[in-house]
A and B are shown apart, each in its own frame.
Chain A
Amino acid sequence: MIEFKDVNKTYPNGVTALSNVNLTIDQGEFVAIIGLSGAGKSTLIRCINRMHEINEGTLTVNNVNVGKLKGKQVRDFRRKIGMIFQSFNLVTRTSVINNVLISSVPDLSAWRKFLGIFPKEKKVEALEALDKVGILDKAYNRVDQLSGGQQQRVALARTIAQNPDIILADEPVASLDPVTAKVVMDDFKRINKETNMSILINIHHVELALEYADRVIGIRKGEVVYDGKSEEVTQDVLDEIYGSLDNVPKMDDVEEAEV
């Protein structure tokens, strides 16, 4: 369970990214977070695994106060939370399986960590994760030989191999074509149903958000302006979240600069 209580976040340059966020997300929910670029979507999910710090309020994940964690505790905490990125963030010059195996690095003995030699059971786990997203046959290909959709599924496999409770996805389909985007969204949906992992997705495509998510959170200028079932999102709600066209933020907005 993820719980935001009066969370505020201001960037050092004075821009408010989150203001007074109160949210409770239960285990196994599929949540889409929508809003304009720069509204604070990215900040919101990055606070959950402490890639960003919050300034005020408390954020609890599975009864752990995230703000209080230190050093190794942060790293152990992050292992239970998967993260997917818009640009996949894979090591492109190495093989698919090597990317997936990275999730098991913290478990290895020191010499294995250094040499990058993985035990057989870890390799089996990695291959099984690849099997779950349907690209088992690409295991020994180099990542830069794969298409964008395949790369995002490698990233997904890397996260599954972590066996997390929560998956955070930051614009996972923004760099993909519409058909591939659906395939990846289907993967998310299936994982959510089969494993009961909570899934939080930042997403630009409103139609995809409404189609796949059970719950939608709308953010505008750092504030939660809508929180409810996806079926109940109306045109009025969308106008509230996105405002009129005049409010479209510039490209050099906070979020772009920070990420």
Chain B
Amino acid sequence: MKEPIYDQIFKPKTYTLSNGKEVKQRASRTPLVLLVVLLVTVLSWEATNVDLSALRTRGYQFVIILTDMFPPNLNFLNNIWGPLFDTIQMSLLGSIAGALLAIPFALLSSSNIIKNRILNGFFKLFLSILRTLPTLITALIATFVFGLGTMAGTVAIFLFTLSYIGKLMYEHIENVDMGAFEAHESMGLSKVQAFRYAIVPDVLPTYLSVSLYAFEGNIRYAAILGYVGAGGVGLLLDERLGWRDYPSVGMVLLILMVVVFIIERISEYFRMKLT
């Protein structure tokens, strides 16, 4: 076997044991890795104009905004409810639709269920590409296609959920122990029946748990979608930040935090029950 280039440049150390056996220790890769990391850091530093002195001299600006948010503007609460419900509704509808459509996509991607490599590959690639698009960018495109408003946000969340759940589920389905499936076939069940009684009970808890988790994350995403005009509290954030009305921004963030916290607790409770 040919040695990797790295081992040809940096020769492995050889130790001779007292009984005459020779042991080779390959040179450590750590210096190379550190060098690469350092190099990329320097390059990135240059490219992004990082200037630590700016942080020292003007860093207080950040703190000023932060302190301006307190105390939050409680009177702004009445303006928040509408967009907040929009946000929740968008992520709920998008998550449910995405989770439902993810089922056929995951099945078509799983090589142990649909035995067609081309079909599996096509759907896996589709899900991967869909997953690379950040939700905000999908939302931006959706606002052009569906017009400004909650529909665009729902579509963006729907697409992200589809790709996220689809990928996790086909990975899970492909790793399902097919033993029970075999046993059910040996008992005279048809393939469809064996799937229903061997694969579904195994996959269902994971599916529900992943869907809940996706919904949790989607609430966070949905909160910023308004920034590109796709509805929800993001619109308020955009508007109030533009006006430098920081106490109101603080109120929006506070409410958001509470809502996210509550939803996470509920979803965590059910996910615990599912495992």
Contact = CB atoms under 8 A, between A and B. Distances in A.
Direct contact of A and B (CB under 8 A): yes
Interface of A: 49, 51, 74-79, 81-83, 85, 87-94, 98, 102-103, 105-106, 113-114, 116, 155, 158-159, 162
Contacts of B196: 113-114, 116
Contacts of B202: 91-93
A103 B190 CA distance: 12
B203 to A, nearest CB: 9
B144 interface: no
B186 A155 contact: no
B188 interface: yes
Nearest to B199: A91
16 contacts: A75-B188, A77-B188, A78-B188, A79-B187, A85-B182, A87-B177, A90-B180, A91-B197, A92-B177, A92-B202, A98-B201, A102-B187, A103-B187, A106-B188, A114-B196, A158-B183
B67 interface: no
Nearest to A159: B187
A98 B196 CA distance: 12
B197 A102 contact: yes
Contacts of A98: 201
Given A91-B198, A116-B196, A51 B186 contact: yes
Nearest to A88: B179
A106 B189 contact: yes
Contacts of A105: 184, 189, 193, 197
A52 to B, nearest CB: 11
Given A90-B180, A116-B197, 15 more contacts: A51-B182, A74-B188, A78-B185, A79-B187, A82-B187, A89-B180, A90-B183, A91-B180, A92-B202, A93-B205, A102-B187, A102-B197, A113-B193, A116-B196, A158-B187
Interface string B163-189: 000000000000001011011111111
Contacts of B187: 78-79, 82-83, 102-103, 158-159, 162
Given A51-B182, A85-B182, A94 B189 contact: no
A89 B188 CA distance: 15
A75 B183 contact: no
Contact of A91 (B186, B188, B201): B201
A78 B188 CA distance: 5
* 8 nearest A-B pairs in the assembled complex, by CB-CB distance: A89-B179, A79-B188, A89-B183, A78-B188, A83-B186, A75-B188, A94-B201, A91-B180
Contacts of B185: 51, 78
A93 B182 contact: no
B3 to A, nearest CB: 27
A106 B179 contact: no
B182 A89 contact: yes
Nearest to A161: B187
A230 B274 CA distance: 49
A94, A98, A162 — most chain B CB neighbours (10 Å)? A94
B197 A78 contact: no
Contacts of B201: 91, 93-94, 98
